[in-house]
Structure 1
């Protein structure tokens, strides 16, 4: 009885396949009727026992029609055409309860354009390039101009696209106002013509007062607000907004500001490679006016995995150039890109890579690159390489620029002395940060420190003439090598020198000052500063430091 009841319930079998190969004629739903007689039953029986068969039917039950596109409906026939939008073809307008619109991706009964002339979504199917493009535009919206796949579009991209299309609509209205202009009403201005007419009666002055004024300020304000908003969005949304804005204003505004932001984003944001390439391709497809032709390749930013850049960061290439197919290739980048790379490397505390990159990269903005290279000594201090940092202060990074010491400020000079003396550095990204200090290496010896400090003072006239710099040097030399976390120096505690030494210094001071005023060489009296005079009272004496000081004086 159970077997016969099952046979009564069996009506058909529905097999759903996601394979849209030609063998299935594009249908995702296939019905099999189990009520066919003899031959089919025998064939089915043979297939069940076939060991090589991939599909085995164990039992059958009443079929349930699953949601499907209209062209896959098994209840109503469908006629395919490439791009017929005039009227429904055949019975394409007929639907079942589970038919979906291929374009809107919702139930066909809810599609407002199912049979609308010139649209006719009922004729849409997946074998037509035309209808596929219509579907992509309906689902992706304005993002379709970036040639993105539907799998590439996430919530951030959709949010950026919705903001962009709103901006495009507002910009269109504002730009039309600008093109229309504003007519200034006639006013009662005094006539300055000869002969002079009464106010308001001179036709020449009246015609001038009726001129149309074109103000771009409204468009500029709208674009500025949109770009400021983009900077606060997520990287993907911001990229879509910047690129879309560049396309909209390319014909009536210089895109320099937008390209600068996009260059930084391509360096700082870890976009997927596919999305990265599509953004660049989209920007290159924008039609730019002749005077903006130089911006067409502005987004050709070298990716982080580029061979030349990688070898430079790893220290395998210190020149930033290599020979490719018999031609020299240089690591040449724009200043915004260089700034973005330095920012990202510093955030990751890859200070050695920052130094290698800044020494090798080239840029047309020499002053901007020089300002970035002035931070190389600080980055070397962050790595604990204080001798190289002191050397970098005094020697230029290339033959076209002066040394960093020439541009040091007094406060920077004091911080460098503190780092060289203690082997410690501030934990922040800038040498003037007020954060805690940490020890990262061995400090310079006192003799080397004095020598380097005097060279810095003699290399920079503003430092040499500043009394605070000399007092900073004296204070640093009179301090301990240990440094508080707050960055304060510990002064050395020294015993009072012998009375004979104090009297001798007092007596010799007047003569030394007179000699300095006369601008002649000064020699310290050996009877006062000799070791046997100072040593008895316990004051430590450094022969190397004294010799170095005597040599410079």
Structure 2
């Protein structure tokens, strides 16, 4: 499109002769018409520059772009280092596009352009004084963090804006606190020790009028601000928390005597409480948030510059958090330093950190699935909160399992992480005991990082051998009395030993059927297990005899050892047991092992009575549960289970089978498999066995219900 006549009058384009001959990509020189005016009578003609071999064909006046005042080409500018008294020469003159160097807005809108002692019209970029003024104006309160303009992004700026607004609100609330409240004697609350109801304390009643100072308004405002800060992005949160810490550290109690109004109303209690929240959150952020190294250091230096009052001295070094690349920390994580101690600059330095820092590091490492590093760190780090650190160290065995090191995990359960605590096994719950045995048995681990909520399971390594499994399982029981007396734990042990080493993703074990081994083998294992169990109780290192732990019968040997351990537990701690039925059910289809246990419990009358009473009580209380379980297990299992008790030589033990049979008879509508159970009794010729009068009568009665059908 060709230029209009008006545009032709205002513009000239210079093109060299060579370009006119067809050369592409050659430069075009734009000539300012003010500098190269074209006479009116020649404006339609070409202008030829003979020296440069250029032809002027088009020229357009340039647009003036926005610029700082000191860069203006229209008005001259006088530079000095820091003159703020009055405008220098013509520095106050501006064009339409002049901007204030300090305020970064149009000079015509600058309120301090010619104000004495400010004079922004004299500002320029060659002066350190004016650069500092500009940084302060643009960074706002962030300048107190020693941040450069290049450091400040949108998150930091938002944090600074919110902090500035908060400081103004806080100033108003703090002034109200300093004024205090006048309290009439009748309304006066007793502040003496011991504290009396209002009006009953002679000392307080003797005061005609007193001013009290309650910090609760300030505390509420700061708490609301911190709640808001936690919803912001990390950089903004850090700025807001640090700024709040600096402000409340400056607050002073206007009275000298102690006035205890509670944690929110007493300044000397409220300020440390707020600082505890602030420093704990900042410690976590310094570990979890990937702040640039320079920003990390500036945050720490800012906090260290805060002048803390005497009641807050304990927070002085709370943000001295080791960066991830610290030499001591990195050597511990890599396994090059197992003690957490190092000689640095001639003195011994230990890996000591605040509990919140330790929790954050563990959280970060676990999130990245660096389980080996977590274990090394927790074994080496020290902390003043022994109980909190012990809670974290109790998960060391779990992290070892997650890394596939099941044998080390089994041993670490029985050893204390430090000399100040007992072993992890002492604090295991029944659920944790079951999860650990599942992991040891199958070599699988929960997919998540919460042992209390395993969820799905995945393979992680080679499981423990049966000999190591039974030893470690019994050691855990012997080291924790609450587990030892918990029937759930013994049923877990029996269930694990009677299952295969394959675990479904849902965490369900597959039970296995073990044939009854020869009687000589059973007697040999029972004889050897007595001394073995005593040594395990005494926390001695033991080895299972090779003669009883053959490759063909190792599953059966473990189950027999468990039977012997249960028998000893019942003989010693029967009064503490609350249930026994779940132990019996845990044997599954391995009825020979359950019969072996019941025979051993029948040696003493009071043990037999106590065991039978526990099972009968369980059956009475859990009828619906048993019917549902039997529905799932089928009539063959129910028949085997009932026959086991009905054929016992002790009538008291037979009463268990009779009660089970009565439960089925009374709930035939819930037992569609009862007919097949009757057929099982026929096949087993149960009616022809010497069961005793009561048992024979009930069995015959049950069978007769289906004979005519």
1:545 matched to 2:545? The reply is no
Matched residue, 2:349: 329
The answer to which structure, 1 or 2, has the higher relative contact order (CA under 8 A, 6+ apart) is: 1
Corresponding position: 1:483 with 2:491 = no
Report the alpha carbon displacement of residue 354 of structure 1 after superposing the two structures with TM: 0.2
Helix, strand or coil at the partner of 1:144: helix
Secondary structure of residue in 2 paired with 1:85: coil
1:411-439 alpha-carbon deviations (Å, 9 max, x no partner)? 11111111111111111111111421111
Change (3 A) 1:474 1:550: closer
**Where do 1:56-75 residues align within 5 Å?**
62-75=61-74
Change (3 A) 1:542 1:270: closer
Distance 1:429 1:209 in 2: 63
Given the superposition, is the C-alpha separation of residues 207 and 121 from structure 1 closer, same or farther in structure 2, using an over 3 Å criterion?
Answer: farther
Would you say the 8 A contact 1:447–1:548 is kept in 2? no
Q: Output one character per residue of 1:231-268: Cα deviation in whole Å (capped at 9) or x when no partner.
A: 12111111101110111011342222211111110000
1:276 corresponds, among 296, 300, 319, to 296
SS in 2 for 1:438: strand
Map 1:278-297 to 2 at 5 A. Answer: 278-297=298-317
How far is 1:132 from its partner? Answer: 1.8
User: Do residues 344 (structure 1) and 364 (structure 2) align?
Assistant: yes
Please give the per-residue CA displacement for 1:134-182, whole angstroms capped at 9, x wherever unaligned. Answer: 2112211111111111111111111111111111111111111111111
1:259 equivalenced with 2:279 (yes/no): yes
Counterpart of 1:392 in structure 2 is 412
How far off its partner does 1:346 sit? 0.6
Query: Does the CA contact (< 8 Å) of 1:10 and 1:34 recur in 2?
Result: no
Distance 1:330 1:72 in 2: 58
Q: Using the alignment, how far apart are the partners of 1:182 and 1:8 within structure 2?
A: 77
* Residues matched between the structures, number: 473
Q: Partner residue of 1:216?
A: 215
Q: 1:439 to 1:178 in 2, by over 3 A?
A: same
Q: Distance in 2 between matches of 1:165 and 1:66?
A: 33
Alpha-carbon distance, 1:185 to partner: 4.3
Aligned to 1:152: 151
8 Å CA contact 2:426, 2:479 repeated in 1: yes
Q: 1:381 to 1:205 in 2, by over 3 A?
A: closer
Alignment of structure 1 residues 128-527 onto 2, 5 Å: 128-185=127-184, 187=186, 208=207, 210-252=209-251, 253-254=271-272, 255-494=275-514
What TM-score, normalized by structure 1, do the two folds share? 0.77
Judge conservation of contact 1:420–1:449 (CA < 8 Å) in 2. Answer: yes
Question: What CA distance in whole angstroms lies between the structure 1 residues aligned with 2:451 and 2:203?
Answer: 66
Rounded to whole Å, the distance in 2 between the matches of 1:541 and 1:341 is: 43
Displacement of 1:371 in angstroms is 1.3
Q: Is the 8 A contact 1:447 1:544 kept in 2?
A: no
Q: Cα 1:285–1:205, aligned 2, differ >3 Å: closer, same or farther?
A: closer
Q: Give the 3 Å change call, closer, same or farther, for CA 460–281 of structure 1 in structure 2.
A: same
Supply the distance in 2 between the matched residues of 1:187 and 1:370 (Cα, whole angstroms).
52
Distance 1:205 1:264, change over 3 A: closer
2:10–2:61 CA contact under 8 A, matched in 1: no
Quote how far apart the aligned CAs of 1:542 are.
Answer: 4.6
Q: Is the 8 A contact 2:362 2:374 kept in 1?
A: yes
Name the counterpart of 1:84. Answer: 83
Is the contact between residue 405 and residue 456 of structure 1 (CA under 8 Å) also seen in structure 2? yes
Unaligned runs of 5+ in 1: 12-30, 37-43, 49-58, 190-199, 506-514, 520-538
- Using the TM superposition, give the Cα deviation of residue 459 of structure 1 relative to its aligned residue in structure 2, in angstroms: 0.8
Give 1:60 shift. 8.5
Contact 1:413 1:469 in 2 (8 A): yes
Does the Cα contact within 8 Å between 2:332 and 2:380 map onto a contact in 1? Answer: yes
CA contact (8 A) 1:187 1:209 kept: no
Q: Is the 8 A contact 2:99 2:105 kept in 1?
A: yes
Residues 451 and 548 in structure 1, CA contact (< 8 A), matched pair in contact too: no
- CA gap of 1:325–1:162, structure 2 versus 1, over 3 A, is closer
Offset of residue 211 of structure 1: 1.4
Q: Which residue in 1 is equivalent to 2:681?
A: none
Alignment deviations for residues 258-317 of structure 1 (CA, whole Å, 9 cap, x no partner): 111111100000001111111111111111123433423221211111112111111122
Residue 64 of structure 1: how far off its partner (Å)? 4.1
Match of 2:399, SS state, is helix
SS of residue matched to 1:328? strand
Partner of 2:113: 114
Give 3-state SS (helix, strand or coil) of 2:207's partner. Answer: helix
Q: Secondary structure at the match of 1:142?
A: helix
Tell whether the 8 Å contact from 2:466 to 2:554 is kept in structure 1 after alignment.
no
Q: Answer with 283-292 or 344-353: which moved more.
A: 283-292
Give the whole-Å Cα distance in 2 for the aligned partners of 1:175 and 1:221: 11
Higher deviation after alignment, 313-322 or 156-165: 313-322
The verdict on how the C-alpha distance between 1:540 and 1:8 changes in structure 2, with shifts beyond 3 A counting, is closer
How far is 1:549 from its partner?
5.8
